[in-house]
């Protein structure tokens, strides 16, 4: 009788020992799944950060397709270059080009303001006809001569 109890106790111990191992394995699998999900979230966040640092607007519809399809290097510079090639962001112009363009715009604005600063032409005939005295006519003729010499 003692032999049967002994065998039964061994089976009970084996079952008790097996269950914690299985439970531990399940816990580890669940933890592994959770960590994989966090890793995926972190990777996605790093990817989005790289695109934001490159200057890509993540809310634009065209940009969403670019972000999903991009498979190059995950650095801001590489992403910026690819986005410029895809015409998603404006390229940076060299400083000399910017200065030349600025000078051209300055010349255009000066020419425009020069046209606006010219005084309207004076109708000297009307002024002479409306003159009330000979002295006034002489002053007007002097002004006309002075203006023509300038």
Question: Is there a contact between 54 and 76 (Cβ–Cβ < 8 Å)?
Answer: yes
- Environment class of residue 54 by beta-carbon count within 10 Å: exposed (0-12), middle (13-18) or buried (19+)? buried
Tell me the C-alpha distance between 36 and 39, whole Å.
5
DSSP-based three-state secondary structure for 22: helix
Q: Where does the pLDDT of residue 39 fall: very low under 50, low under 70, confident under 90, or very high at 90 and above?
A: very high
Tell me the C-alpha distance between 141 and 135, whole Å.
10
- pLDDT for 8 equals 59
61-69 and 2-54 helices, crossing angle to 10°: 130
Mean pLDDT along residues 28-32: 94
Q: What is the pLDDT of residues 51-100, one digit of tens each?
A: 888 888 888 888 888 888 888 888 888 988 888 888 888 766 556 777 88
Tell me the C-alpha distance between 65 and 58, whole Å.
10
- Percent pLDDT > 90 in the chain is 12
Average pLDDT value over all residues in the chain: 81
């Amino acid at each position: 009788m003692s032999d049967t109890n002994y065998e039964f106790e061994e089976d009970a111990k084996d079952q008790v020992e097996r269950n914690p191992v299985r439970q531990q394995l399940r816990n580890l699998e669940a933890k592994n799944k959770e960590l994989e999900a966090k890793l995926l979230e972190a990777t996605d966040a790093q990817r989005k950060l790289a695109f934001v640092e490159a200057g890509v607007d993540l809310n634009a519809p065209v940009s969403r397709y670019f972000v999903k399809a991009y498979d190059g290097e995950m650095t801001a510079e590489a992403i910026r270059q690819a986005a410029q090639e895809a015409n998603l962001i404006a390229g940076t112009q060299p400083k000399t080009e910017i200065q030349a363009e600025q000078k051209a715009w300055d010349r255009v604005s000066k020419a425009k303001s020069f046209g606006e600063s010219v005084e309207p032409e004076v109708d000297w005939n009307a002024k002479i006809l409306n003159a009330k005295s000979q002295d006034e006519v002489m002053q007007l003729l002097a002004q006309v001569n002075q203006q023509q010499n300038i």
